[in-house]
C-alpha cells in the first residue's frame, strides 16, 4: 500500500464516520428521499416504445436503470379503469372500477399523500386532464364514483395538497349547485391562478393551485405547449423553497385519450410530451441525489401496436415492410396487458420484478422508510 493509498483510506474514514471532535452524531441520519411518481395514463409497452421511433432524440426514459412489470386488474374487473388503477397506487389496495380513494366496500382509505402530509411532507399533483379527473383525484379524494368531480373540487380545496396544476376550472367556478367556493379557497390558504403557470415569490404556509382550462387542457397538437415539463419544474422549485421532503405525482393524462380515440399521432405526441416531464424529474433527481423517480401506467389503452407497413413486391403481392412502421389499434378501450414500471434513485431496485399494481404503494412506503 502506498502512502497515498493510506492517506485516501484515512480521509475516507473521516468522511464516513464524521469528525470525532464534532458534537454531531458519528453516523449520518438517513434523510427520507423525495418521491416523484409519473403516471402515463394508458401507457403500455408500445406507447412507451413509440418514443424510440417518433421523437427527435433519444427518450429520457432510457436513463432508468430498473424495470418492472405491473399487473393491472382491479378488484371488480380483469381490465381496470383509471380510478381503480390510481387508487391501487395511492391507497395500496385493489378496488372496484370507478372508486376514488375508497376500498372495495366503499370505505374511504387514507392515501399515501395524506399519510405523508401527516408527517409534514409536502405534496403536489400535476395533470393534463382536469385536476379532479380520476388519476390525480385518487391521491386526495374519496368518492364512490369518479364522475363526482364537483365533490372532488371541494375535497381538493380542503385537502393538504400544497401544489397542483391542471385543468378543471368549471368544477370550481361553474358549478351545477352554484356554490361559491372562493371563501373556502381563501380560508384554506390556497392561492389560485387561472391564467398561466408563473414563478412566484413562494410564501411559506401558502398552497399554490393552477387551473388552466375549463376541463382537460388542450392536446399538445392543439397548442398546450410545454405545460407538463414546465409545471413539473415549477413544482420542484416550490418544494425546494420550502425544504421538507415531497411527494409529487405527474400524470400524462392524454396518452390514454389518444388510445381511446384510436389516433396514433395524438397518442404519440402525448407520449413524447410525457417523456419531457420524465426528463425534468430525472434531471432534478440526478442533481439532488436523494429523490426516487418512478414511471408507470395505470393500464394500457387502445391495444396499440407499432406494426409494419405493407409494400407490393413483384410476384409476391403485398408483404410486410419491416422497415416502415404504422399505428394499429385493437380496441377503443383499455386492455388487460401488464404495464412497465421504471425506477431511479434510492431503493429503485425494489421496483424490479413482476407484481400487482397495489404493491407499488408498499414499495414506495418502504423506500421512504429505508426498509
Residue 256 or 270 with smaller CB distance to Zn ion: 256
Nearer to Zn ion, 42 or 101 (CB): 42
Report the residue number, 33 or 98, with the smaller CB distance to Zn ion: 98
Stretch that binds Zn ion, among 13-21, 193-201, 232-240, 250-258 (CB under 5 A): 250-258
CA 305 distance to own-chain centroid: 23
Instruction: Fill in the per-residue mask, 252 to 271: x = in contact with Zn ion (CB under 5 A), - = not in contact.
Output: ----x---------------
If the CB atoms of residues 154 and 256 are measured against Zn ion, the closer one turns out to be 256
In the chain, alpha helices (H)? 3-17, 45-54, 82-91, 112-118, 134-137, 149-158, 169-173, 182-187, 227-242, 255-260, 264-288, 359-369
Provide, rounded to whole angstroms, the least separation between the CB of residue 299 and Zn ion: 7
Contact region for Zn ion (CB under 5 A) — 86-94, 154-162, 249-257, 356-364? 249-257
Closest separation in Å from C-beta 267 to Zn ion: 12
Shortest gap between Cβ of 53 and Zn ion (angstroms)?
23
Count residues binding Zn ion (CB under 5 A): 1
The answer to whether 273 contacts Zn ion (rule: CB under 5 A) is no
Residue number with CB closer to Zn ion (224 or 299): 299
CB of 95 to Zn ion, least distance (A): 17
What's the closest the beta carbon of residue 176 comes to Zn ion, in angstroms?
24
Residue nearest to Zn ion (CB): 256
Whether 153 contacts 177, CB under 8 Å: no
- The nearest distance, CB 321 to Zn ion, in angstroms, is 31
Q: For residue 327, what are the β-bridge partners?
A: 306
| String of DSSP letters for 84-133 | HHHHHHHHSS---TT-BSB-TTS-B---HHHHHHHTT-EEEEEEEEETTS
Pull the grid cell for residue 116. 405523508
Burial class, 69, CB count within 10 angstroms (exposed 0-12 / middle 13-18 / buried 19+): middle
Nearer CB in complex with Zn ion: 117/251: 251
Q: CB-based contacts of 28: which residues, under 8 Å, 6+ apart?
A: 18
Binding mask 118-157 for Zn ion (x = CB under 5 A): ----------------------------------------
Q: For Zn ion, what does the binding mask look like between residues 208 and 247, x meaning CB under 5 A?
A: ----------------------------------------
Task: In angstroms, give the least distance from the CB of 42 to Zn ion.
Answer: 6
Cβ proximity to Zn ion, 256 vs 275, nearer residue? 256
Q: Which residues of 318-347 are buried (b: 16+ CB within 10 A; e: fewer)?
A: eeeeeeebebebeeeebbebbbbbbbbbbb
Nearer CB in complex with Zn ion: 209/264: 264
- Quote the least distance from Cβ 160 to Zn ion, whole Å: 28
Euclidean distance between CA atoms 85 and 42, whole angstroms: 10
- Asked whether the beta carbons of 231 and 197 are under 8 A apart, the reply is yes
Q: From the CA atom positions of the chain, what is the Rg in Å? A: 22
Residues that bind Zn ion (CB under 5 A): 256
Amino acid at each position: 500500500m502506498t502512502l497515498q493509498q493510506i492517506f485516501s483510506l484515512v480521509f475516507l474514514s473521516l468522511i464516513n464516520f464524521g469528525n470525532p471532535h464534532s458534537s454531531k452524531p458519528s453516523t449520518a441520519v438517513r434523510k427520507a428521499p423525495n418521491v416523484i411518481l409519473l403516471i402515463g395514463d394508458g401507457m403500455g409497452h408500445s406507447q412507451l416504445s413509440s418514443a424510440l421511433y417518433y421523437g427527435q432524440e433519444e427518450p429520457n426514459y432510457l436513463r432508468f436503470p430498473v424495470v418492472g412489470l405491473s399487473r393491472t386488474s382491479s378488484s371488480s374487473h380483469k381490465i381496470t379503469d383509471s380510478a381503480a388503477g390510481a387508487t391501487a397506487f395511492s391507497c395500496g389496495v385493489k378496488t372496484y372500477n370507478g372508486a376514488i380513494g375508497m376500498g372495495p366496500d366503499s370505505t374511504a382509505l387514507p392515501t399515501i399523500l395524506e399519510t405523508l402530509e401527516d408527517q409534514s411532507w409536502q405534496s403536489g399533483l400535476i395533470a393534463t386532464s382536469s385536476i379532479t379527473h380520476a388519476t390525480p383525484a385518487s391521491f386526495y379524494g374519496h368518492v364512490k364514483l369518479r364522475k363526482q368531480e364537483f365533490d372532488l373540487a371541494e375535497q381538493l380545496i380542503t385537502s393538504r395538497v400544497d401544489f397542483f396544476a391542471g385543468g378543471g376550472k368549471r368544477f370550481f367556478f361553474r358549478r351545477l349547485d352554484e356554490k361559491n367556493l372562493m371563501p373556502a379557497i381563501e380560508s384554506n390558504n390556497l392561492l389560485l391562478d387561472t391564467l398561466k403557470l408563473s414563478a412566484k415569490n413562494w410564501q411559506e404556509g401558502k398552497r399554490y393551485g393552477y387551473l388552466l382550462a375549463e376541463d382537460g387542457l388542450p392536446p399538445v397538437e392543439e397548442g398546450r405547449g410545454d405545460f407538463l415539463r414546465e409545471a413539473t419544474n415549477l413544482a420542484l422549485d416550490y418544494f425546494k423553497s420550502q425544504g421538507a421532503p415531497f411527494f409529487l405525482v405527474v400524470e400524462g393524462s392524454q396518452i390514454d385519450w389518444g388510445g381511446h380515440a384510436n389516433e396514433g399521432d395524438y397518442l404519440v405526441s402525448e407520449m413524447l410530451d410525457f417523456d419531457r416531464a420524465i426528463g425534468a424529474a430525472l434531471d432534478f433527481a440526478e442533481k439532488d441525489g436523494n429523490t426516487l423517480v418512478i414511471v408507470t401506467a395505470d393500464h394500457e389503452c387502445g391495444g396499440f401496436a407499432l406494426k409494419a407497413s405493407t409494400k407490393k413486391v413483384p410476384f409476391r403481392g403485398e408483404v410486410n415492410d419491416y422497415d416502415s412502421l404504422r399505428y394499429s389499434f385493437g380496441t377503443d378501450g383499455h386492455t388487460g396487458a401488464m404495464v412497465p414500471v421504471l425506477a431511479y434513485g434510492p431503493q429503485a431496485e425494489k421496483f424490479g420484478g413482476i407484481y400487482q399494481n397495489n404493491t407499488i404503494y408498499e414499495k414506495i412506503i418502504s423506500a421512504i422508510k429505508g426498509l
